[in-house]
C-alpha cells in the first residue's frame, strides 16, 4: 500500500521464478547452439574417416611433442632444477591455444555467413565454438604428454594445479578476445587477413612461453610485463613447478586486459554484423 492508500500490485514468487526460468532456458539454448557449432567445426575439419575427431588432439599433440623434444635436448629452461621437458611442454601447449584459435579466425565471418540465416546463431557463437574446439584439443594434448612424461620420468604432475588451470582459463579467454578482433577486422581487409599468421609467429617469442621474467635484465622486466601473455605463463609455471614464484603473475592486470580486449572485440563484431550478407 502506498501513501495514497491504494494497493500496489503483488508480484508473486512464481513470476520471479518464471523470469529466472526464461533466462536459464535462454542460456541452455545458446549452449546447445555453441555445442552444435563446435561439432560442426570438428566434422568439417576432420570428418569421421580414420581417427576422425581425435585429430583435434593428435594435431597439437604432434606439434607439442616435437617442439618439446627439441628444447629438452638442448637443455632449455633448466634453471632451479626445473625439468626442460615440462617447462617447454607447459609453455608451448598453452601458447598454441592462442596460435591455433587466432590463425583460424581470419575470414571466418565470410566462411560461415550462411549460418547467420538462423536467428539463433550469432558471430559470437561461431567464434566461441571454434575457440572451444582449439582449446580442448590443446588441453588434451597437454594432459596426454604430461602423463607420458611422468610415466617415463621426464616430468612431474603440477605442484599447484588450481593455478595452472587458472592460467589456462585466462589464456583461453585472452585468445578468444583476439579471435573476435581478428574475425572482425579481417572481414573488410584482405591485407589484415594476410597478417594474422605472421603476427602469431611474432607473438611466440614475446609471449613468455619459453622464458621466465626472472632471467631477463632488470631494466627489461617492467616493459615485458605489459604483455598480458607474460603474466599468464608466469602463473602457469607457478602452478606447475614447486620452485617457481608468482612474483610476476599479475592476475588482476590480465583480467583487466581480457575485459578490455573482449569489449573491443564485441564492438568490432557488432560493427561488421550489418555488412554480413546472409545467403
DSSP string, 29-78: HHHHHHHHHHHHHHHHHH-SSTTGGGHHHHHHHHHHHHHHHHHHHTTTT-
Max distance between CA atoms of the chain, in angstroms, equals 84
Residue 137 is placed in which grid cell? 584439443
Residue 2 region by backbone torsions, left for phi larger than 0, else alpha for psi between -120 and 50, else beta: beta
Q: For position 77, what pLDDT does the model report?
A: 46
Q: What is the rounded CA–CA span in Å between residue 135 and residue 94? A: 9
Q: What is the rounded CA–CA span in Å between residue 271 and residue 123? A: 11
Q: What is the rounded CA–CA span in Å between residue 127 and residue 104? A: 10
Residue 101 dihedral angles phi and psi, to the nearest 5°: -70, -45
**Whether pTM exceeds 0.85:** no
- Say if residues 143 and 149 touch (Cβ distance below 8 Å): no
Q: For position 47, what pLDDT does the model report?
A: 62
Q: What is the rounded CA–CA span in Å between residue 84 and residue 204? A: 18
Residue 227 dihedral angles phi and psi, to the nearest 5°: -80, 115
Q: For position 236, what pLDDT does the model report?
A: 95
Cα-to-chain-centroid distance, residue 208:
16
Signed CA dihedral, 158, 163, 168, 171: sign only: negative
Q: What is the rounded CA–CA span in Å between residue 28 and residue 25? A: 5
Which parts of the chain register pLDDT below 70?
Answer: 1-17, 46-61, 63-64, 67-81, 277-279
Q: For position 80, what pLDDT does the model report?
A: 62
Signed CA dihedral, 118, 272, 126, 192: sign only: positive
DSSP state of 212: -
Residue 61 is placed in which grid cell? 599433440
Q: For position 170, what pLDDT does the model report?
A: 96
pLDDT digits (tens, 9 = 90+) for 227-248: 999 999 999 999 999 888 888 8
Q: What is the rounded CA–CA span in Å between residue 17 and residue 256? A: 33
Amino acid at each position: 500500500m502506498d501513501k495514497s492508500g491504494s494497493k500496489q500490485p503483488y508480484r508473486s514468487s512464481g513470476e520471479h521464478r518464471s523470469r529466472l526460468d526464461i533466462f536459464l532456458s535462454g542460456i541452455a539454448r545458446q549452449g546447445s547452439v555453441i555445442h552444435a557449432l563446435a561439432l560442426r567445426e570438428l566434422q568439417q575439419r576432420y570428418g569421421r574417416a580414420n581417427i576422425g575427431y581425435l585429430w583435434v588432439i593428435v594435431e597439437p599433440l604432434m606439434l607439442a611433442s616435437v617442439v618439446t623434444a627439441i628444447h629438452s635436448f638442448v637443455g632449455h629452461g633448466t634453471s632451479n632444477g626445473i625439468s626442460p621437458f615440462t617447462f617447454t611442454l607447459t609453455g608451448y601447449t598453452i601458447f598454441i591455444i592462442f596460435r591455433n584459435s587466432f590463425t583460424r579466425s581470419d575470414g571466418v565471418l565470410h566462411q560461415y555467413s550462411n549460418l547467420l540465416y538462423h536467428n539463433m546463431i550469432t558471430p559470437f557463437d561461431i567464434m566461441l565454438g571454434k575457440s572451444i574446439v582449439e582449446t580442448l584439443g590443446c588441453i588434451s594434448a597437454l594432459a596426454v604428454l604430461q602423463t607420458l612424461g611422468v610415466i617415463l620420468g621426464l616430468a612431474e604432475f603440477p605442484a599447484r594445479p588450481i593455478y595452472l588451470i587458472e592460467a589456462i582459463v585466462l589464456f583461453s579467454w585472452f585468445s578468444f578476445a583476439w579471435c573476435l578482433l581478428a574475425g572482425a577486422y579481417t572481414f573488410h581487409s584482405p591485407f589484415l587477413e594476410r597478417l594474422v599468421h605472421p603476427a602469431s609467429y611474432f607473438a611466440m617469442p614475446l609471449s613468455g612461453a619459453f622464458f621466465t621474467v626472472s632471467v631477463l635484465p632488470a631494466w627489461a622486466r617492467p616493459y615485458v610485463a605489459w604483455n598480458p601473455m607474460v603474466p599468464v605463463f608466469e602463473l602457469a609455471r607457478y602452478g606447475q613447478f614447486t620452485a617457481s614464484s608468482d612474483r610476476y603473475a599479475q592476475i588482476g592486470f590480465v583480467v583487466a586486459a581480457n575485459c578490455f580486449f573482449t569489449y573491443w572485440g564485441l564492438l568490432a563484431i557488432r560493427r561488421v554484423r550489418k555488412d554480413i550478407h546472409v545467403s
